Structure 1
Amino acid sequence: METLCPRFEKAMGLLSTRWVGLILFDLLEGEKRFSEMEADLPISGRLLSDRLKLLEKEGIVDRKIYSEFPVRIEYSLSEKGRALEPVIKEIQSWADHHITHEEVNEEAQLKG
């Protein structure tokens, strides 16, 4: 049996971390403030903050602090993060073709 490439395993672990995919998808639209992302995503502020810190540590997300009052912080995809765009768009295309509305509704009811 062949072993998985450690880099592939790390990439899959990162991308499969809950909410990371949706955060990356949201940031494909461009630079966003924390409050905008919090409004866009069904995730708590604390968890969003944790995930953004993880993505920043991995070099996938850049955080820009503006010296204003109040301080403004915006997040965007780094060059490394933007390199994931074709992957994310391909997953979206696959989902559009292979996941039905019924499956999504069924899963929401199970969570609900």
Structure 2
Amino acid sequence: MDEVAGAIADPIRREILLMLRDEALSAGQIADRFAISRPAVSRHLRVLREAGLARDEADGRRRVYTLVTAPLTELTDWLGQLTRPSGWQHRFDALETEVYRTRRERRIDRHDHEETA
């Protein structure tokens, strides 16, 4: 998970991942979209490969990169823990539900009582 988090920490690598989400691209096509040197793009692609987020295949003389999302699962699960309600939030939600249910039952009881009176 740390390697994946480190790989996506860089804005250029995040942009590359977004580009690969839509289509497989050669290293040259990726490099053409940035105002940085080709060796710099190559280093970013290496980091993504080593983190397991990109796969490359030879296509003649060029390397074609594709996105691999499986390594993001562990990171996504961990991030989900941060956004889930805390234990106290669950208790407050349950209390709120109970308060609304009790109010609704009291209204129904009052309404039934008025009809029989």
TM-score with structure 1 length normalisation?
Answer: 0.55
Q: Write out per-residue CA displacement over residues 37-86 of structure 1, whole angstroms, 9 at most, x where no aligned residue.
A: 111223221111001011111111000012x3xx12201112426x58xx
Aligned partners of 1:22 and 1:41 also within 8 Å: no
Aligned partners of 2:57 and 2:65 also within 8 Å: yes
Higher helix share: 2
**Which segments of 5 or more consecutive residues in structure 2 lack a partner in the other structure?**
77-117
CA spacing shift, 1:11–1:64, aligned 2, 3 Å = closer
| Cα deviation, residue 10, structure 1 | 4.8
2:19 to 12, 21, 26: 26
- Aligned Cα RMSD in Å? 2.4
Count residues in correspondence.
74
| Cα deviation, residue 12, structure 1 | 3.5
Identity, % of aligned positions: 18
Which consecutive aligned stretches of 4+ in structure 1 deviate over 4 angstroms post-superposition? none
Aligned partners of 2:7 and 2:47 also within 8 Å: no
| Cα deviation, residue 15, structure 1 | 1.4
**Which segments of 5 or more consecutive residues in structure 1 lack a partner in the other structure?**
1-6, 88-112
Greater Cα radius of gyration, structure 1 or 2? 2
1:42 to 35, 39, 62: 35
